[in-house]
Structure 1
């Protein structure tokens, strides 16, 4: 039986990637540090994915098991796996890398000459490449030579909204119907697995930035503006006409940069923006603005969903007024339950807005910094 290992048994792992792998005929081993989830998976041997959208449906996921990712048996599970995927968050990847390296070493020492592909399904640019670097740091020279021959690390982009909705059965999960999983075709080792829902991509960076500059940009700005106005969820926020207008305009501005950079068809991309905003309106998801807005320091970094589209569009000479409003809203994100928000506000208080934002984002253009500072002070009056 084909085996896949899914590091991360959270909502994305169970509701998106793990479910697709199981539906493609794999026995999916969920690896996580949460013993309650792992024990429940092993006891029930199934869970339900509730697709909540214009049309609702249920998917029963049954060919599964679980393992604690810190235990020795985790290494043994990797010996005969064909594919490993992750949905753990970018900061956790370096922590699981030594475990993956041990699994690769075991395969080498056991004489396994089957190919293994490892795909980091994270909200980040080239997450698999970052994971590869961390794994190789834990391999000796023989291990690296073996991995070079038998282990692929295809990068990917992932897109599905999977909010933390509490179900009667706590391992059941609620998802939207829409999803995208684009995987770098050329980086696979051996025969490419046939997985329905996995799109093999040539120019992966175009897919990554289209998603980052559209879904992630719009999602974040909707949440930060909604948080300022006291809304609880994304769908509540996007129903507000002033927020809707700013968000759509910001997504259009970011789209101008994408169209210029990658040659996207303008009409098709504007339709893509409308489709994304339609997803924000899905009231079934009850997507918490604090969840979407969490970790603002990461979201304001140079390569992430706010500053990267700003600098790309501005670099081509396009207007970026609404992207700047979105950044101003993010800088106002003051949530005591979010450690990065607390750090952000402390940094602004200590250094002043412009210096703090420049340090976080890498932006040095004085005019942009002035405009961001103005947006930070005026955003509450604009909505």
Structure 2
């Protein structure tokens, strides 16, 4: 077995730019696997790339001495079968595509030790497709708090935040993650939910109100006076609800959301509104970043107005994308059981349609 070789499936921004340095710093060889043949060819042709850090927080790092194979190739199957650890960064919706690779690798695997797979996808129960497929491995999940961005679409070079760790679910039996920066977390399910319902929820204010105000740069929208006001006001009931639901001190949860807002406002992280606003209908789902926090806030009888504003803004964004039909909110979000909520959202949505300023909407509510 190649105990000094770690597989990273997903050679995009997160896998290549955030996860890879942890593996390199652990003095282990990196094997990239990706379904994009052009990316794999570029990785092999250039044989190295540079990762820089926002605000020059530390010196750039060069990633080299790696291998790169296309997903489901014979080389990829062999590499997985001979490794003890696989880290994925493919997006939660794409985990299912990895099943054939893991099935084939399991058939070829000769070691008595079980393979450990860590799905670093920032979703709830993203490992489920691998569990359902009965993959012969210890399958767990990790959380990514860091933003990593491409500096140039024609370059492998990346820009990332300097973030010290990746928490992973240590409650799964037989999990072995011998990579620096991977931190065992016993209350992982609570942490991933808190992350989505805090970071991702507050991010929606920037994405959809920022788009409405004509911003293209994410941090500029985050620093907009009216958007910042709404985000800060929304965080108050949100923090209280999450603190109560997950039994964490309010001070800890408030600090957690404060770190999120500080990150969003950092001008050194040059992100785009369009990247963060995409997939709007999925983000309006019943267990997603807007509707689940809304239910928690209502459960504890807290102020929901600010969250309703961003849901209406998300609807307006969906309208602009051509994704909004008359009953989309009822179908996608499943909130018909919340008395008066749809009606209140529709009133706010009409204000966006009529072109009211965000300041006017704040005054209206």
Task: Provide the TM-score with structure 2 as the length reference.
Answer: 0.90
Give the deviation of 1:54 after TM superposition: 6.7
CA RMSD of aligned residues (A): 2.0
Identify the residue that residue 140 of structure 1 maps to in structure 2. Answer: none
Choose from 335, 358, 365 the match for 1:382: 358
Give the deviation of 1:65 after TM superposition: 1.3
Give the deviation of 1:18 after TM superposition: 2.5
- Partner Cα distance (2:173, 2:53) in 1: 30
- Partner Cα distance (2:17, 2:232) in 1: 28
Cα deviations by residue, 1:356-382 (Å, 9 ceiling, x for unpaired):
201001112231111221222225433
- Partner Cα distance (1:321, 1:327) in 2: 10
Choose from 123, 145, 163 the match for 1:159: 145
- Call closer, same or farther: CA 1:14–1:335 in 2, change over 3 Å: farther
Give the deviation of 1:180 after TM superposition: 4.6
1:331 maps onto 2:315 in alignment: yes
Contact map agreement 1:5 1:29 (CA 8 A) in 2 = yes
Identify the residue that residue 43 of structure 1 maps to in structure 2. Answer: 45
Task: Provide the TM-score with structure 1 as the length reference.
Answer: 0.86
Identify the residue that residue 141 of structure 1 maps to in structure 2. Answer: none
Structure 1, unaligned stretches of length 5 or more?
137-143
- Partner Cα distance (1:105, 1:313) in 2: 48
Contact map agreement 1:160 1:180 (CA 8 A) in 2 = no
Give the deviation of 1:66 after TM superposition: 0.4
Choose from 44, 57, 70 the match for 1:68: 70
Give the deviation of 1:157 after TM superposition: 2.1
- Call closer, same or farther: CA 1:211–1:179 in 2, change over 3 Å: farther
Give the deviation of 1:260 after TM superposition: 0.4
Give the deviation of 1:275 after TM superposition: 1.8
Contact map agreement 1:129 1:153 (CA 8 A) in 2 = no
Judging by fraction of residues, say which structure has more helix.
1
**Within 5 Å, which residues of 2 pair with 1:144-183?**
147=136, 151-166=137-152, 170-178=155-163, 180-183=165-168
Segment drifting more, 82-91 vs 326-335: 326-335
Choose from 241, 255, 262 the match for 1:257: 241
How many equivalent residue pairs?
353
Structure 2, unaligned stretches of length 5 or more?
360-365
- Partner Cα distance (2:319, 2:69) in 1: 34
Give the deviation of 1:70 after TM superposition: 3.4
